[in-house]
Amino acid sequence: MIDKIKVMFVCSGNGCRSRMAAGLARHIGGDRFEFYSAGLDTVEIDPRAAVVMAELGIDISGEKPEPVDPELMQRMDYVITLCEVAEEGCPGTPDSVARLYWPFPNPSEAEGTEAEIMGQFREIRDGIKLKLQEFLDGFPKNNG
C-alpha cells in the first residue's frame, strides 16, 4: 500500500480560505491524498464560505476550526499557506516538508453590497480551485 500524500492548508483563522482549499481538495484530489486545514488563530467558519462551497456540492459547514498543530505539520508532505499572515507566522517545518505560498485576500474582509461580497468569496474559491488543480496535475495519475 502506498502512503497517501499529506497536504495542509493554512490561513490566518481557518474560517474561509484554508477550509475552502481543503474542501475543494478533498472533492477533486482523489484518494491518493489526505488534506488538512488549520489557522494561526481559529475563528468560526464564515457562513458565506459554506454557501459558495455548497454551490459546488461541497459541504464544509460542519467543520470545526483547527489551530496549527506543529507536530502534525511535521508529518505533512506539503504545507500551503494562503495568506501573508500565515506565511510569516506559520511554524517552521523540516526540509522534508515542501512549503508553498498561494496568497489570497481574506474574503471575510470584503466590503460592499452582499452581492459584491459573495462575488469576492466566489472569486477566491475559484482562484484556489485553479491553483489546486495546477498542483494536483503535477502528480502522476493513479492507475490502480
CA distances from 1 to 5, 25, 62, 84, 144 (A): 12, 21, 31, 37, 11
In 3D, which of 30, 49, 64 has the Cα closest to residue 128? 49
* Location of C-alpha cell 480551485: 129
pTM over 0.85: yes
Q: What is the pLDDT of residues 89-106, one digit of tens each?
A: 988 888 899 999 999 999
Correct CATH for 5-137 of 2.40.50.430, 3.30.70.1400, 1.10.1040.10, 3.40.50.2300: 3.40.50.2300
pLDDT mean across residues, the chain: 93
Please say if 90 is a catalytic residue.
yes
Is 83 assigned a catalytic role? Answer: yes
Measure the CA–CA gap between 82 and 104, rounded to whole angstroms: 6
Looking at 10, 11, 25, 76, which residue is catalytic?
Answer: 11
Quote the pLDDT of residue 68.
Answer: 94
**What is the phi/psi pair of residue 78, to 5°?**
-140, 140
Selected catalytic residue, list 25, 83, 86, 132: 83
pLDDT(142) > 90: no
- pLDDT, one tens digit per residue, over 31-42 is 899 999 999 999
Bridge partners (DSSP) listed for residue 8: 36, 79
130 by Cβ neighbours in 10 Å (0-12 / 13-18 / 19+) ranks as: exposed
Catalytic residue list contains 16: no
What would the pLDDT profile of 11-33 be if each residue is shown by its tens digit? 999 999 999 999 999 999 988 99
Rounded mean pLDDT, 74-82: 96
